[in-house]
Amino acid sequence: MTLMKSLLGAAAAVALTAGAASAEPALVFDLGGKFDKSFNESAYNGAKRWADETGGTFREIELQSDAQREQALRRFAESGANPIVMAGFAFATALGEVAGDYPDTKFAIIDMVVDAPNVRSVVFNEHEGSYLVGMLAAQASESGTVSFVGGMDIPLIRRFACGYAQGAKAVNPDINVVSNMTGTTPTAWNDPVKGSELTKAQISQGSDVVFAAAGGTGVGVLQTAADEGILSIGVDSNQNYLHPGKVLTSMMKRVDNAVYDALTAGADLETGFNVMGLSNEGVGYAIDENNASLISAEMTEAVEAAKVKIVSGEIAVHDYMSDETCPALTF
């Protein structure tokens, strides 16, 4: 009897181990869709890279409303998905409700901190990367006015705008920086028409370089900039290819790396607070065949020198999230 119990126990342990090893990870996209050519798509690219390299598979869902957040997390957790990665700060409340109910499931949230023992919180130093593209904008500008179009008006997006303005003013203290947000609700992430309207208004104020940190709304910003003959700056993913020769650069926020790392770790995902910035290639700027003719050697040299100083601490880029003020820009 004892021997039989031992054998059955061993068999059960093997079965559980096999089940854990084969558990699929899951990825939950934020509103705007996985092919928004920006934040969500970067997350998808990271998962796809993991799948292509490992032959693994992952589950996914594109949300249609805020009300689906908690339901999606619970369904994935109940079905054994591990880890469950969510792209976006707006998952914080739902994750706070769900994580404690599934202590054996690992979760990763991007752009927000959720304090739970089974959660990895990944945040980015967006202000550092935005500072660098702000420098490029100021160097490329001929009018002395550059601009910024944000998505939803939240501190995270103001962090982009503030870093951008600081970088621009480091090159030209007298430069004029115009900033507008698309809206105050999640629909602001997917309104390319409003993005186009804001861009045209900024052009009328003299802007000849516009930086969009607005999710799917940014597609309208970049399109209008190309149509109107000014330069644009993409965000999150490398968006240079959308309008070759007309996108000055893209502020790379390596959401793809955050997702790739989480899926690679699998159920062994190390939880806690994880920061991605210039020092670990979490943010940066993109140069490729689509924009190489727009970025001179002198521009690159200046930006690379600033990058070294930011990493070393010699240049301290003010972080709007630290005290919600910005010395270089008035909101």
What pLDDT digit, counting tens, does each position of 261-315 carry?
Answer: 999 999 999 999 999 999 998 999 999 999 999 999 999 999 999 999 999 999 9
In the chain, what are the domain boundaries? 15-124+257-276, 127-252+296-323
pLDDT of 158-211, one tens digit each?
999 999 999 999 999 999 999 999 999 989 999 999 999 999 999 999 999 999
pLDDT at 177: 98
pLDDT digits (tens, 9 = 90+) for 121-143: 999 999 999 999 999 999 999 99
CB 329 within 8 A of CB 179: yes
Q: What CATH number should be reported for the domain whose range is 127-252+296-323?
A: 3.40.50.2300
C-alpha distances (whole Å) from 118 to each of 27, 46, 75, 123, 283 are 16, 21, 17, 16, 26
CA distances in angstroms from 199 to 57, 115, 177, 190, listed in the order given: 40, 38, 13, 15
pTM of the model: 0.85
| 15-124+257-276 fold | Rossmann fold (3.40.50)
DSSP 99: G
